[in-house]
Chains A and B, each alone.
Chain A
Amino acid sequence: MAQSQQFKSNSKLEKVLTQGHFAVSGEVGPPKGTGAEGIREKGAMLKEYTDALNVTDNQTAIVRMCSLAGCTVLKQVGADPLMQIVCRDRNRLAIQADVLGAVALGINNFLCLSGDHQKFGNHPNAKGVYDLDSTQLIATLRQMRDEKKFICGEDISGDMPMFIGAAANPYADPFEFRVTRLAKKVNAGADFIQTQAIYDIDKFARYMELVRDMGLDKRTHILAGIIPVRASGMARYMKNFVPGVAVPQSLIDRMKTAEDKGGEDKKQRAEYGREEGISISLELIERVRQIPGVHGIHIMAVNWEEIVPVLVERAGLYPRPQVL
Chain B
Amino acid sequence: MIKAKHKPIESIGEMAAPYRRVLVLGCNTCTAVSLAGGEKEVGLLSSTLRLRNAGKGKNQEFQEFVVKRQCEMEFLEEARELIQETDVVLSLACGVGMNCVADNFPDTPVLPGNDTAFLGLSPELGQFTERCVACGDCLIHLTGGLCPLARCAKRLLNGPCGGSEEGHCEISPDVPCIWHKIYDRMRALGQLDKLSVVVPVREWSMNDAIGPRSFVREDLTVQTGQGE
User: A243 vs B154: C-alpha distance in the bound complex, in angstroms?
Assistant: 14
State the Cβ distance, A120 to closest chain B Cβ, in Å.
Answer: 8
Q: Are B195 and A114 in contact (CB under 8 A)?
A: no
Q: Are B165 and A133 in contact (CB under 8 A)?
A: no
Central interface residue in B157, B164, B201, by most chain A CB within 10 Å: B201
With beta carbons under 8 angstroms apart, the residue of B157, B196, B201, B204 that contacts A180 is B196
With beta carbons under 8 angstroms apart, the residue of A130, A132, A172, A187 that contacts B160 is A172
Give the tally of cross-chain contacts (CB within 8 A). 103
With beta carbons under 8 angstroms apart, the residue of A115, A130, A168 that contacts B155 is A130
Chain B residues with CB under 8 Å of A115's CB are 154
User: A133 vs B157: C-alpha distance in the bound complex, in angstroms?
Assistant: 7
Chain B residues with CB under 8 Å of A72's CB are none
With beta carbons under 8 angstroms apart, the residue of B155, B162, B197 that contacts A244 is B162
Q: Are A88 and B154 in contact (CB under 8 A)?
A: yes
User: A120 vs B160: C-alpha distance in the bound complex, in angstroms?
Assistant: 18
In the complex, whether A50 has a CB less than 8 A from a CB of chain B is no
Chain A residue nearest in CB terms to B181 = A174
Given A117-B154, A173-B177; A136-B199 close (CB under 8 Å): yes
Docked complex: B170-228 residues within 8 A CB-CB of A:
170-171, 177, 180, 183-184, 192, 195-202, 204
User: A168 vs B201: C-alpha distance in the bound complex, in angstroms?
Assistant: 20
Chain B residue nearest in CB terms to A245 = B162
Docked complex: B107-166 residues within 8 A CB-CB of A:
153-166
Chain A residues with CB under 8 Å of B202's CB are 136
Q: Are B170 and A136 in contact (CB under 8 A)?
A: no
In the complex, whether A219 has a CB less than 8 A from a CB of chain B is no
Q: Are B162 and A196 in contact (CB under 8 A)?
A: yes
Given A87-B154, A173-B166, A177-B195; A134-B201 close (CB under 8 Å): no
Chain B residue nearest in CB terms to A137 = B201
In the complex, whether B18 has a CB less than 8 A from a CB of chain A is no
Q: Are A181 and B198 in contact (CB under 8 A)?
A: no
User: A176 vs B160: C-alpha distance in the bound complex, in angstroms?
Assistant: 12
With beta carbons under 8 angstroms apart, the residue of A88, A120, A136, A180 that contacts B200 is A136
Q: Are A136 and B162 in contact (CB under 8 A)?
A: no
User: A317 vs B124: C-alpha distance in the bound complex, in angstroms?
Assistant: 58
Chain A residue nearest in CB terms to B201 = A136
Central interface residue in B157, B162, B192, by most chain A CB within 10 Å: B162
In the complex, whether A131 has a CB less than 8 A from a CB of chain B is yes
Q: Are A172 and B158 in contact (CB under 8 A)?
A: no
Central interface residue in B154, B160, B200, B204, by most chain A CB within 10 Å: B154
Q: Are A130 and B156 in contact (CB under 8 A)?
A: yes
User: A187 vs B195: C-alpha distance in the bound complex, in angstroms?
Assistant: 13
With beta carbons under 8 angstroms apart, the residue of B163, B167, B201, B204 that contacts A116 is B163
With beta carbons under 8 angstroms apart, the residue of A119, A167, A172 that contacts B171 is A119
Chain A residues with CB under 8 Å of B201's CB are 92, 132, 136, 139-140, 151
Chain B residue nearest in CB terms to A128 = B154
State the Cβ distance, A125 to closest chain B Cβ, in Å.
Answer: 13
User: A132 vs B157: C-alpha distance in the bound complex, in angstroms?
Assistant: 9
State the Cβ distance, A150 to closest chain B Cβ, in Å.
Answer: 11
Q: Are A135 and B160 in contact (CB under 8 A)?
A: no
In the complex, whether A188 has a CB less than 8 A from a CB of chain B is yes
With beta carbons under 8 angstroms apart, the residue of B163, B195, B197, B200 that contacts A117 is B163
Chain B residues with CB under 8 Å of A176's CB are 183
Given A139-B201, A173-B164, A180-B195; A244-B170 close (CB under 8 Å): yes
Chain A residue nearest in CB terms to B168 = A173
State the Cβ distance, A315 to closest chain B Cβ, in Å.
Answer: 25
Q: Are B171 and A117 in contact (CB under 8 A)?
A: yes
State the Cβ distance, B177 to closest chain A Cβ, in Å.
Answer: 7
A-B contact pairs, 25 of them (CB 8 A): A116-B170, A119-B153, A120-B171, A133-B155, A133-B158, A134-B158, A135-B159, A136-B198, A136-B199, A139-B198, A139-B201, A167-B162, A168-B162, A169-B162, A172-B160, A173-B164, A174-B160, A174-B164, A176-B183, A180-B159, A180-B192, A184-B158, A188-B198, A243-B163, A244-B170
| Closest CB pairs A-B (n = 3) | A169-B162, A243-B170, A135-B158
**B contact set with A: CB distance below 8 Å:** 153-167, 170-171, 177, 180, 183-184, 192, 195-202, 204
**A contact set with B: CB distance below 8 Å:** 87-88, 92, 114-117, 119-120, 128, 130-136, 139-140, 151, 167-169, 172-174, 176-177, 180-181, 183-184, 187-188, 196, 243-244
Known: A117-B170, A167-B162. 8 other contacts (CB 8 A): A114-B162, A116-B163, A120-B170, A130-B154, A135-B199, A136-B157, A136-B202, A173-B165
